[in-house]
Structure formats: structure tokens, C-alpha cells
């Protein structure tokens, strides 16, 4: 299917920011920049809803721990959005190829979402909020750039999305292992200190 590279890329982008994907595709289609955007994504009510939700996400995504709560809520929303956008890009005939495109978009969005949620959980361990703001801004710019690029160069964009997805998975696994070892050492050190303290030191009033 010639549309699969575009579906894969939109799925990756939906896992990062589904509202940005719907809004951007709808605007590009409504303004005539691309004729590949389905009419359903160009509807005014869809564009307004996507715009409002995108603004909400733009704020929540930059606040430590709020972003993780937002990600938890969107564990279902983003894969569903990726599946719907993928099916719409493939067509609306309900054929097997449309269903396959929806499956590709949804599964890619799910993996991409898990990578984003894991990355945010790692970033939230740092005490300063600047890293959240920088990362969120880079994600938004990356989604916008790759979605526009995919409409004109779908295969190249899909390769870029696949590389970013693979790198994201590797980084999350690497950092999660380091953080898990860090917390294990902290627990072990605390246990050793408690074991070394005499009872009188722990309960001076006794």
C-alpha cells in the first residue's frame, strides 16, 4: 500500500501529540496545501476541537508530573487517534486495506506514546522544570515538521519516524535501567543505615 508510509508517520506523530496531527492535517487540507487529507479532518468542528485540545496539551505537557498524568489519560486516546487517522488516510470504504492501515497507525501510535510517557517519567526525576518545557517544545516542533514533510515525501518521513521511534525505545530502556539501579542503591543504603543505628538512637524517648 502506497499510503502506508504516511500512515506510519502519522501514527508515530499521533503517539506524541494526536491533537497536533489532526489540527495540522486539517488545516493543510482545508487551505489546499495538500489534497491527501480526508474531508473528515477538514471539518470546522473537528478543527476547533483539535485546536482547543492542542492548547490544553501544550500547557499540561510542560508542567512536571502534570504531563505524566496527562499521558496516563491519553494511553487510549492517542492510539485510537492514530488508528482513526490512519484509516481515514487509507480511505473510508471499510476494506481490509483500510483496516490494516488503521492497525498500523494505532499500533505505531501506542508504541510512540509509551516511549513519550517513559521519557517524561525519566525527565520528571530532575528537580527543574526547564527540561520539560524544552522537551515538550521539541516534540511539538518535531511533530509539525515530520507531518508536513510526510505529505510530500512519505517514504523519507517514515524512515525518519522509524529511526526516532527506535532511538526513543533505546533511550527509555537505558535511562529506566539507570534510574532503577539508582533507587535500588538508595533503598539499600537506607536499609544499611537503619540496621546500623542502635535502638536508642532511633527511639531516644524510650
Could you write out the three-class secondary structure of the chain? CCCHHHHHHHHHHHHHHHHHHHHHHHHHHHCCCCCCCCHHHHCHHHHHHHHHHHHHHHHHCCCCCHHHHHHHHHHHHHHHHHHHHHHHHHCCCCCHHHHHHHHHHHHHHHHHHHHHHHHHHHHCCCCCCHHHHHHHHHHHHHHHHHHHHHHHCHHHHHHHHHHHHHHHHHHHHHHHHHHHHHHHHHHHHHHHHHHHCCHHHHCCCC
- Please determine, for residue 83, whether its predicted confidence score (pLDDT) is greater than 50: yes
Residues 34-66 have pLDDT tens digits of 888 989 999 999 999 999 999 999 999 988 888
**Predicted pLDDT of residue 81:** 94
The larger pLDDT score, comparing residue 43 to residue 102, is at 43
Report the C-alpha gap between 148 and 29 in whole angstroms: 11
CB 147 within 8 A of CB 9: yes
**Predicted pLDDT of residue 90:** 84
Could you give the C-alpha distances from 79 to 17, 42, 65, 171, in angstroms and in order? 11, 20, 21, 21
**Predicted pLDDT of residue 107:** 93
pLDDT, averaged across the chain: 85
- Please determine, for residue 125, whether its predicted confidence score (pLDDT) is greater than 50: yes
CB neighbour list of residue 200: distance below 8 Å, 6 or more residues apart: 206
pLDDT band at 130 (very low <50, low <70, confident <90, very high): confident
Nearest CA-CA partner of 124 in 63, 172, 59: 63
**Average pLDDT score over residue span 189-201:** 65
Statement: the pTM of the whole predicted model exceeds 0.75: yes
Amino acid at each position: 500500500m502506497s499510503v502506508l508510509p504516511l500512515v506510519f508517520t502519522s501514527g508515530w506523530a499521533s503517539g506524541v501529540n494526536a491533537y497536533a496531527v489532526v489540527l495540522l492535517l486539517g488545516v493543510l487540507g482545508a487551505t489546499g496545501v495538500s489534497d491527501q487529507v480526508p474531508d473528515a479532518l477538514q471539518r470546522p468542528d473537528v478543527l476547533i476541537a483539535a485546536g482547543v485540545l492542542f492548547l490544553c496539551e501544550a500547557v499540561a505537557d510542560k508542567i512536571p508530573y502534570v504531563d505524566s498524568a496527562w499521558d496516563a489519560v491519553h494511553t487510549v486516546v492517542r492510539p485510537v487517534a492514530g488508528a482513526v487517522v490512519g484509516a481515514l488516510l487509507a480511505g473510508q470504504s471499510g476494506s481490509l486495506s483500510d483496516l490494516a492501515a488503521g492497525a498500523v497507525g494505532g499500533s505505531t501510535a501506542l508504541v510512540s506514546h509509551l516511549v513519550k510517557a517513559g521519557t517524561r517519567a525519566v525527565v520528571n526525576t530532575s528537580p527543574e522544570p526547564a527540561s520539560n518545557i524544552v522537551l515538550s517544545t521539541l516534540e511539538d516542533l518535531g511533530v509539525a515538521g515530520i507531518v508536513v514533510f510526510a505529505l510530500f515525501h512519505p517514504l523519507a518521513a517514515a524512515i525518519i519516524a522509524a529511526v526516532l521511534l527506535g532511538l526513543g525505545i533505546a533511550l527509555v530502556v537505558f535511562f529506566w535501567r539507570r534510574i532503577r539501579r539508582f533507587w535500588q542503591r538508595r533503598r539499600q543504603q537506607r536499609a544499611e543505615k537503619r540496621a546500623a543505628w542502635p535502638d536508642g538512637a532511633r527511639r531516644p524517648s524510650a
